[in-house]
Amino acid sequence: MKRRRFIGTTSLALGGLATLKAAAWHKAAENTGLGKLYENDFTIGTAVSGWTFSQNDTELLDLVKHEFNSITPENALKWSRVHPAENEWRFDIGDRFVEFGLENNMQIVGHVLVWHSQVPHTIFQDESGNAVSKNILLKRMENHISTLVDRYKGKINAWDVVNESVTPEDGWRKSPWFEIAGPEFMDKAFHLAHEADPDCHLLYNDYGMVNPKRRDFVVKMVKDFQKKGVPIHGIGMQGHFSLDSPDITEIEASIEAFASTGLRVHITELDVDVLPSRWSSSAEISNRADYSEELNPYTEGLPPKIDDKLTKRYEDLFKLFLKHRDKIDRVTFWGTTDAQSWKNNFPVRGRTNYPLLFDRERNPKNAYHAVAGLKE
């Protein structure tokens, strides 16, 4: 039985002619959704929160199944949520997430098996609070991966096996995984996932993948994996971008570099931060800043000038993705509407951000029309 290939089978100033075009794009997308519009290019996905299922938000779920043909759980399958203690598993939300994807013939992405964040610190410790041995840690990882992947075998199409284990400064991130088990924990994680579901598409996923140092390190890492026979099939490029950075040429260089390894490229966690930041576009979870009005300037709505920039940014991104459709399997937004976006609270809690294609009332924005319009 061959491994499933993870690919789908299934700025504008609004005035005058532009308004008519936008209306036409909206009408077309109303009938089809973005997933259908792009089905011959790559799948279009969104991250769905556990809250959406626990609250049975049928309106939002209807929007998801209309617009997208791929889904990723935002948090429900992260270690701390699904496996909060060594002998405790919480599958309820994960099961509902998978059932929703199957019922709607969607490609289902599992996120994430091994990460240094959102994981119980006790897995790295013994009963006295000291660091566990390498052997014990790898046994705990084996139990986690084997149990989780086996439960959804044949249902989840792809797994983010390892997440964010590289830094531009140091190469390998000095996480507890690395400090206790060394870099081979990654090899082991991919082998375990493959053994549990040999047909599943397995990815390494990271942010800041346009950084030349990180890009070069990941390419070298992948080539080393391939020489050793590590079963890796794709690279996830997290797309946490801002209005002005990174430059499109740098994004393109990374797509080309990762594709040169022979692996499929996935654009994961896509959003566009429109607010001022003290950092360049990054998803480093340790980055935090105190709230200030200066960092939260658009509480009453997005000014037209900024909305135009957001629209143009998304249009340019999708033009690039279409140019490289032969290399890209999937483009997944990190959330569906602005109201659910993590960017309202990161890196500054309590801000009003506008990073996605649907507004807080769940209506398509100008950026949505621009992305849909590229397929008209």
Answer yes or no: are the C-beta atoms of 221 and 184 closer than 8 Å.
no
Angle, in degrees to the nearest 10, between helices 134-151 and 184-196: 30
Is the overall model pTM greater than 0.85, yes or no? yes
The pLDDT tens digits for 112-122 are 999 999 999 99
The domain containing residue 158 runs over which residues? 17-373
Higher pLDDT, 349 or 25: 349
Which structure tokens are listed for 230? 């590590």
Q: Would you say residue 283 has pLDDT above 90?
A: no
Residue 85 belongs to a domain with what CATH number?
A: 3.20.20.80
Q: Would you say residue 278 has pLDDT above 80?
A: no
Q: Would you say residue 216 has pLDDT above 80?
A: yes
Q: Is residue 111 part of a domain?
A: yes
The pLDDT tens digits for 134-146 are 999 999 999 999 9
Mean pLDDT in residue range 303-322: 98
DSSP 277: -
Higher pLDDT, 204 or 30: 204
Task: With cut-offs at 50, 70 and 90, classify the pLDDT of residue 168.
Answer: confident
Q: Is residue 32 part of a domain?
A: yes
Distance CA 273, CA 86 (A): 37
Mean pLDDT in residue range 148-168: 97
Catalytic residue among 39, 67, 269, 315: 269
Task: With cut-offs at 50, 70 and 90, classify the pLDDT of residue 284.
Answer: low
Q: Is residue 289 part of a domain?
A: yes
The β-bridge partners of 237 are 206, 267
Place of tokens 């929703």: 100
Please tell me the predicted confidence (pLDDT) of residue 169: 85
Q: Would you say residue 215 has pLDDT above 90?
A: yes
Residue whose C-alpha is closest to residue 110's, from 68, 48, 186, 191: 48
Q: Would you say residue 31 has pLDDT above 90?
A: no
Q: Is residue 8 part of a domain?
A: no
Residue 269 appears among annotated catalytic residues: yes
Residue whose C-alpha is closest to residue 239's, from 169, 143, 166, 335: 335
Q: Is residue 238 part of a domain?
A: yes
Q: Is residue 192 part of a domain?
A: yes
Q: Would you say residue 20 has pLDDT above 90?
A: no
Tally of domains in the chain: 1
Q: Is residue 168 part of a domain?
A: yes
Q: Would you say residue 253 has pLDDT above 80?
A: yes
The pLDDT tens digits for 175-208 are 999 999 999 999 999 999 999 999 999 999 999 9
Q: Is residue 295 part of a domain?
A: yes
